[in-house]
Amino acid sequence: MSEHLPPRGNWAPAKPPPAFNVPPVVAAVIAVLVAVHAGLWVLGQDWQVWSIYALSLIPARFTIPGYPMLPGSQYWTLASYMLLHGNWMHLAFNCLWLLVFGTPVARYFGSAKFLVVSLVSGIIGGLCSLALHWGQEIIIVGASGAVMGLMAAAIPLMYGERLPHGGWRPATFRELLVNRRALVFTGVVLAITLFSGGTGWTGNSFLADSSIAWEAHIGGFVGGLLAFYVLAPRVRSA
């Protein structure tokens, strides 16, 4: 009768995988957005007004001489407007979609390119809002343009294909144009964007005059898709 002995060494039960395997860069971006909004909410009206003055995108700054602003803020606010949100619901939706669609993009690109896609998408979204509201005294806030860009960048990953020897190949732009599921998904996303922008159902909070612009959503989406194919390794059809 033989006896089976366990092999020598330090053996312990394998640790289960984490329940939420979120890339650190995605978690960090969400943490920054939440910290900014929570901080302004706690600090009160004076700081909230200052944040609008210093960080929000206001088209009137480009056209009205003597408009109150920090020198150069008409330019840096094309990026900093993404740090502010109209209310907790606006922030929550953006963080949710950032988590869902930013995760595959961060895993595919890594942290640096993920941030580039986000920034480019947000800036293009801001430029679209600026073009359509040129010279108007409105306040544009929110990371929605960047989030829409990440959503667009995730589409080639979602509708790619598994390679025979392992790995995953993103869909080419031409393949997206003939993929019915990808087109339906894109259509639904854009329809929701137009509806939310037209009805203002996301509301506002201390930014009572803020604009959660659908133009930034559309511009960010286009910017994110372009950024994906510019930054991605050459994507070829099988």
Residue ranges of the domains in the chain? 24-231
Strand duo 161-162 + 139-140: pairing: unpaired
Name the burial class of residue 158, with classes exposed (0-12), middle (13-18) and buried (19+) by CB atoms within 10 angstroms of its CB.
Answer: middle
Name the burial class of residue 162, with classes exposed (0-12), middle (13-18) and buried (19+) by CB atoms within 10 angstroms of its CB.
Answer: exposed
What average pLDDT does the segment 55-82 reach? 88
What average pLDDT does the segment 74-99 reach? 90
Instruction: Report whether 56 contacts 77 (CB < 8 A).
Output: yes
CA distances from 139 to 67, 85, 92, 132, 146 (A): 13, 11, 20, 13, 17
Choose the weakest-confidence range: 18-22, 35-39, 187-191: 18-22
Between 237 and 235, name the one with better pLDDT: 235
pLDDT for residue 197: 53
Instruction: Report whether 52 contacts 207 (CB < 8 A).
Output: yes
Q: With 50 as the cut, is the pLDDT of residue 1 above it?
A: no
pLDDT for residue 213: 63
The CATH superfamily of 24-231 is Rhomboid-like (1.20.1540.10)
- Give, for 159, the enclosing helix (H) or strand (E): none
